[in-house]
Structure 1
Amino acid sequence: MIPQKPTQQDYNNWHNDPNNWHLGMFYYNKEDKRMFVPKKLKWAGFTINFGNSKAILITIAFLFFMYTLTQLK
């Protein structure tokens, strides 16, 4: 059985569920496969879905890259 793609209503429900937001700004939802999701304040851009392992790997790689750049001085 092929899993169905989430509907816009699913995305809206996940986004509005306070259990998916930690400290009001960290989004964590393993059901939501998106790497980046809109922030609670729509005008504020996007945030990382910490429930997505690819998003966490990209974030760690980015932080490591930034750390390496600061050490090159």
Structure 2
Amino acid sequence: MKNPDEELLEDWHTNPKYWKLGGLFYYNREDERLLIDKPNPNYGSTLNFAHRKSYIIIVVCISFFGFVVYMITSKN
């Protein structure tokens, strides 16, 4: 959905059916945004796990930190 109105965005943000594991994960196929503010703004943002790019971001981050750990622990 392109350019949802403020009322729909607020409904998506406050509706508990889109928040999994107590607000830790956000999953809404209708929402095209990749980054979503958490219900409590002090906790930052989360990824929309219904968005395909979120899984690419997770794989890249895990690969990067895995590479860093490998480089630190490998012996020359």
What TM bracket, shorter-length normalisation? Answer: 0.7 to 0.9
Q: Secondary structure at the match of 2:46?
A: strand
Report runs of 4+ in structure 1 exceeding 4 Å deviation: none
Instruction: Find the structure with the greater CA-based Rg.
Output: 2
Note the C-alpha offset of 1:36.
Answer: 0.7
TM-score (norm 1): 0.87
Instruction: State the AA in 2 paired with 1:17.
Output: N
Q: Partner residue of 1:23? A: 21
Q: Partner residue of 1:33? A: 32
TM-score (norm 2): 0.84
Instruction: State the AA in 2 paired with 1:67.
Output: G
Give the length in aligned residue pairs. Answer: 71
Q: Partner residue of 2:55? A: 56
Note the C-alpha offset of 1:4.
Answer: 4.2
Identity, in percent, stands at: 31
**Aligned Cα root-mean-square deviation (Å):** 1.3
